[in-house]
Structure 1
Amino acid sequence: MDDNIDDNPEWVTQGKTIKQLIKELQTFENQDLEVQISVDGGESFKCISLAGKHNNGGVQYCVLENFE
């Protein structure tokens, strides 16, 4: 996986809002699928344990977390 942000297209690096993510997830026919996350291009997957609010220098983020 290429970690150089300049080498990645905008759709990879710009991120999503909660509203955008919900809209995308609503397109899945099977709404009972388990949601997992990968941070290495699909080499490994982890379940999402919690969706939390985090504050980084006054900017709030919604973070999907794994506590394994």
Structure 2
Amino acid sequence: MKTDNPESPEWIYRGKSIRGLIQELQTFEDLDLEVKISIDDGNTRKPISLVVRSDGQCLLKFCGD
């Protein structure tokens, strides 16, 4: 995905593949850490409840209120 903002690095919008995400997660020393997701630079964090296939993509979902 490209952005119209030339000041934003491409990696911010490129996303990760499942393979790339697994490789990155395996670099953590403690593989029992809880995984959370944030879409506001870490100010709000939610646990990942489900990992599903949706419209040909891997979707991480939070199922709480």
TM-score normalized by the length of structure 2: 0.87
- The one-letter code matched in structure 1 to 2:50 is L
| Residue-pair matches, total | 60
Q: Deviations over 1:7-51 (max 9, x none)?
A: 421111100000000000000000000000000111110000000
SS in structure 1 at match of 2:28: coil
Show structure 1 runs of 4+ deviating over 3 A: none
Structure that is richer in strand per residue: 1
**Larger relative contact order (CA 8 Å, sep ≥ 6):** 1
Q: Confirm whether residue 61 of structure 1 aligns to residue 57 of structure 2.
A: yes
Listed as ranges, the gaps of 5+ residues in structure 2 are none
Q: Which residue number corresponds to residue 51 of structure 1? A: 51
RMSD value, Cα: 0.8
TM-score normalized by the length of structure 1: 0.84
Cα distance in 2 between the residues matched to 1:37 and 1:51:
12
Q: Percent identity?
A: 47
